[in-house]
């Protein structure tokens, strides 16, 4: 009975780390106590392990606060009770402060009053780098907001230490996040700030950022690759992601040395954003007109998308499929069937290669060796897999088209 009671009691010392952590971008002292300014992490396994749980505390609350402009940082924890090792066979509480502080650059604060006092310095903060674009929402209304997008390099005075604080957000929102080697001068940084009124003047709050690496492309070109891309939760669903991506694109369009722009391990969310932005931009190109879409994917689309928008061939094909789907009359049996077959022909290419490899191996191996080497799929399995792949794609394309329609 006592063992069961202890076990149940121990369970009360286990906390979901995503629920325990409160993040804030603080503009004024009131924000510290205001629950509406709190936002949560999407993940915490990169700090607290795969189970995303913390042992050793009851009613645990972790506060990780940043001033909205300078990103001065406060880290603190509160809890009702901590597990007693004497009572629970030597069980020790997890070192929460140590786990998080190991990822923070030096200079973070653990005294909340000291943190609030730094808000007086926010008025001197100005964004880093070159202003590339401005963006406004709710123009002419009481809720009008203004944003500015900048680009800079690590050489910008003060930006190195600022970036050290900024990149800590990745741990809570980007899976398999890693801190980049900023000493490599081929990195470019893009930042979004909100310019908001305060005390008769203006201040700036960070909203998100992206990093781009300039890869070499044989023989004498450059291929930028978008590496990290994050719009912070308080600023999501405002159109800032699309604006940031377009600003990155525009910064390279006039450079004849740029071959095309790629993306490193894009998440599902980023893939959807990229599909939307690229489809919106390609719709304006003559080669992506409705008439030409029905004639099939061709070299003119590849060349024009690469030349005018720096979109690579693989992404140009995906955009073609999205826009052709939009141009297809789904009520017309033959037209819809022609579209499905066109997409499935592309999806079938790996299976065709598999069949070709199988024929080559047939000549070199005996039947037993062949069976142990390859697990080829049957025709029925291939058809079933193709149907599943196609249906998943169509669902993704419908999502993009819904957003395109809403943006018109």
Distances (CA, A) of 53 to 16, 18, 186, 306: 5, 8, 38, 46
What 3-state class would DSSP assign to 23?
A: strand
Torsion of CA 176, 181, 186, 187, to 10 degrees: 60
Catalytic (active site) residue 380: no
Nearest C-alpha neighbor of 288 from the set 270, 276, 273, 303: 303
Backbone angles phi, psi at 77, to 5 degrees: -135, 150
The active-site residue out of 19, 28, 264, 269 is: 264
Overall residue count recorded for the chain in this entry: 408
Q: How, if at all, do strands 187-198 and 81-82 pair?
A: unpaired
Quick check: 68 and 26 in contact, CB under 8 A? yes
The tokens for 406 are: 């809403």
How far is 374 from 378, CA to CA, in rounded Å?
Answer: 12
Nearest C-alpha neighbor of 198 from the set 27, 353, 51, 75: 27
Distance from the Cα of residue 150 to its chain's centroid:
18
Nearest C-alpha neighbor of 357 from the set 53, 381, 365, 195: 365
Distances (CA, A) of 319 to 117, 249, 266, 403: 50, 16, 16, 14
Q: Could you give the residue numbers annotated as active site?
A: 264
């Amino acid at each position: 009975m006592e063992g069961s009671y202890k076990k149940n009691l121990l369970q009360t010392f286990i906390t979901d780390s995503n629920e325990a952590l409160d993040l804030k971008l603080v503009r004024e002292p009131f924000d510290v106590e205001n629950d509406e300014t709190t936002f949560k992490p999407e993940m915490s396994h990169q700090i607290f392990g795969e189970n995303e749980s913390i042992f050793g505390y009851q009613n645990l609350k972790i506060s990780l606060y940043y001033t909205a402009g300078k990103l001065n940082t406060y880290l603190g924890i509160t809890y009702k009770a901590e597990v007693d090792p004497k009572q629970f066979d030597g069980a020790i509480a997890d070192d929460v402060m140590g786990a998080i502080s190991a990822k923070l650059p030096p200079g973070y604060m653990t005294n909340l009053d000291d943190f609030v006092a730094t808000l007086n310095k926010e008025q001197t903060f100005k964004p880093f780098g070159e202003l590339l674009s401005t963006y406004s929402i709710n123009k002419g209304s009481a809720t009008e907001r203004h944003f500015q997008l900048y680009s800079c390099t690590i050489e910008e005075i003060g930006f190195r230490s600022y970036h050290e604080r900024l990149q800590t957000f990745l741990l809570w929102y980007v899976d398999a996040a890693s801190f980049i080697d900023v000493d490599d001068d081929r990195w470019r940084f893009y930042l979004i700030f909100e310019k908001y009124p305060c005390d008769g003047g203006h201040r700036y709050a960070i909203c998100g950022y992206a990093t781009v690496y300039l890869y070499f492309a044989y023989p004498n070109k450059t291929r930028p690759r978008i590496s990290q891309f994050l719009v912070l939760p308080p600023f999501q669903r405002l159109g800032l992601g699309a604006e940031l991506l377009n600003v990155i694109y525009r910064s390279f369009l006039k450079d004849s040395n740029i071959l095309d722009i790629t993306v490193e391990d894009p998440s599902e969310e980023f893939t959807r954003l990229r599909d939307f932005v690229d489809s919106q931009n390609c719709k304006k190109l003559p080669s992506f007109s409705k008439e030409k879409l029905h004639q099939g994917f061709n070299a003119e689309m590849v060349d024009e998308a690469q030349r005018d928008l720096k979109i690579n061939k693989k992404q140009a094909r995906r955009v073609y499929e999205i826009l052709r789907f939009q141009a297809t009359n789904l009520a017309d049996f033959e037209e819809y069937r022609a579209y499905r077959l066109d997409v499935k022909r592309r999806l079938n290419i790996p299976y065709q290669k598999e069949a070709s490899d199988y024929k080559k191996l047939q000549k070199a191996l005996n039947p037993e060796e062949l069976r142990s080497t390859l697990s080829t799929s049957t025709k029925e399995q291939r058809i079933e897999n193709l149907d599943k792949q196609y249906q998943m794609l169509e669902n993704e394309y419908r999502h993009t088209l819904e957003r395109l329609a809403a943006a018109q």
